[in-house]
Structure 1
């Protein structure tokens, strides 16, 4: 088969011939890959920087996708935790980590939208007791996952959604996705934190894709401006675009009902993720959630990988199209 292959964590994946992977467990099956998304998580997998990465090479990147089983059934699946990922014409699917797709659904759309949508969907459905009427701040709302989080918070019943980010053009587009208010994080970081404190002091939940200094600086302004500090504020740490660490002020934990937790691979079981797939797929397939996508043959992986990224698009590779 043809696949995108990583032979060094310091080089781009190369499109080349590779041996077909072989199923080894009773729940595994070899399937054709129809579409697989180039997510931020995939890039960190391919360069060895993700916290789940091992030093095992060669590596076929790709963590999820849409596949066709030998009986013709289309499924969305999350790849097993091996070095054989989804950027290939064929891959091994663990049936326990897959769900059937409705007839007529667009495989490219599902491959594009599921990963960026999954982080906030699972966080709100599995990590906290989210209730309709809660107010939500999306910190890092101008990225693909952040844009999805804005839509998902509204879809699940948030009474107010605030989107915060640096890209003003993309901030301006968030209203059409459901944001009630936007806050620019451009300019002086401390001034941006004060703006965030003014706008988001009454939220119930923060979905944080940034972490680092933006999170560190925003915590106290948001908490000190709350009208009732005993009302819970739950901060869900998902991404770390702005830095892997943030100094949490101890007073933040003592002076307010402030809960800090994470959501990601490990904090939610695989079974927990899979249980959320059908409802999320339905929301995507029926147009309740939208994604800006661009599809390419997998044979173009080197060119696309090295091209300047368009933050407005989710890249999907189609392995069987050359």
Structure 2
């Protein structure tokens, strides 16, 4: 069979023949892969830079996908923690890490949307006791996951959502998907941080996809402007597009009721993730959440891997049976 195969972290995956591992666990099953999304997490998996990288080569990348089980059921699955992922004509899954799709669900849309949606969905549903009516700042709202976070915060009942990001066109578009206010992060970083403080001082939750300097600079201006510093503010660190490190000022932790935590692989149990998947699948399948999915034949993986998708798009690889045979 054929798959996208990484043999060096310095090179893009190549479409080539590879043996399918034999199912070995009591809950293992072989699925025909219908669609697998090219998420930022998958890119970092393929270049070895992700914090959960196993350092094992060769590697078939892909952390999730949509597949068809031998009994004909179509499922969304999270790939097991092995070196053989979802970007293949067939793969081995643990059926306990899968959920059936509703009748008529689009495999490409599910494969495109689940990963960017999962980060904010799980953060608000599993990392905190989020209550309808609370307000949310999405830091990095012009990225794909940040845009989805705006939608999800509203879907889960946020009373007010503020989106902060650099891209002016995508920032303007946030209004149409639920943002009540937007803040530009363009220009001088300290000036941008003050704008965040002015606009978002009264939020209850920050969903942070940036980290790095933007987060570091925004914390104190945001906290200083709160009308009641004893009212809880929870900062959830999800992504690190702007850098892997941020110096957290000690004053931020002492001078306000400020809680800083992360949400990602390891901070939520597998059971916790799986419990959220059916409701999230339903929200995507019925159109309440969506992304601009771009299906690409898996055989073209080497050609498109290094080319970023357009604004708001998510590339989804669709295996072609017998390609290259």
TM-score by length of 2: 0.98
Kept in 2: contact 1:2–1:18 (CA 8 A): yes
The aligned residue for residue 157 of structure 2 is 157
Kept in 1: contact 2:198–2:222 (CA 8 A): yes
**Residues 168-202 of structure 1: per-residue CA shift (max 9 Å, x gap):** 00001101110000000000000000000000000
The aligned residue for residue 226 of structure 1 is 226
The aligned residue for residue 320 of structure 2 is 320
| CA shift for structure 1 position 21 | 1.8
Alignment of 1:221-300 (within 5 A): 221-300=221-300
**Residues 262-291 of structure 1: per-residue CA shift (max 9 Å, x gap):** 000000011110110010011111111121
Q: Tell me whether 1:148 sits opposite 2:148 in the alignment.
A: yes
Kept in 2: contact 1:141–1:147 (CA 8 A): yes
SS at match of 2:305: helix
CA separation in 2, counterparts of 1:177 and 1:45? 30
In terms of mean alpha carbon deviation, does 302-311 or 212-221 score higher?
A: 302-311
| CA shift for structure 1 position 52 | 0.5
Q: Tell me whether 1:109 sits opposite 2:104 in the alignment.
A: no
CA separation in 2, counterparts of 1:78 and 1:198? 40
CA separation in 1, counterparts of 2:11 and 2:311? 22
Kept in 1: contact 2:27–2:96 (CA 8 A): yes
| CA shift for structure 1 position 310 | 1.8
The aligned residue for residue 209 of structure 1 is 209
The aligned residue for residue 96 of structure 1 is 96
Q: What is the number of residues matched between the two proteins? A: 322
Gaps of 5+ in 2: none
CA separation in 1, counterparts of 2:90 and 2:19? 10
| CA shift for structure 1 position 306 | 2.1
CA separation in 2, counterparts of 1:109 and 1:199? 34
| CA shift for structure 1 position 63 | 0.2
The aligned residue for residue 187 of structure 1 is 187
CA separation in 1, counterparts of 2:12 and 2:311? 20
Q: Tell me whether 1:15 sits opposite 2:11 in the alignment.
A: no
**Residues 206-225 of structure 1: per-residue CA shift (max 9 Å, x gap):** 00000000000000000000
Kept in 2: contact 1:33–1:320 (CA 8 A): no
| CA shift for structure 1 position 74 | 0.3
| CA shift for structure 1 position 109 | 0.4
The aligned residue for residue 47 of structure 1 is 47
Alignment of 1:300-311 (within 5 A): 300-311=300-311
TM-score by length of 1: 0.99
The aligned residue for residue 178 of structure 1 is 178
Q: CA RMSD in A?
A: 0.8
**Residues 271-317 of structure 1: per-residue CA shift (max 9 Å, x gap):** 11011001001111111112111110000101111224423201100
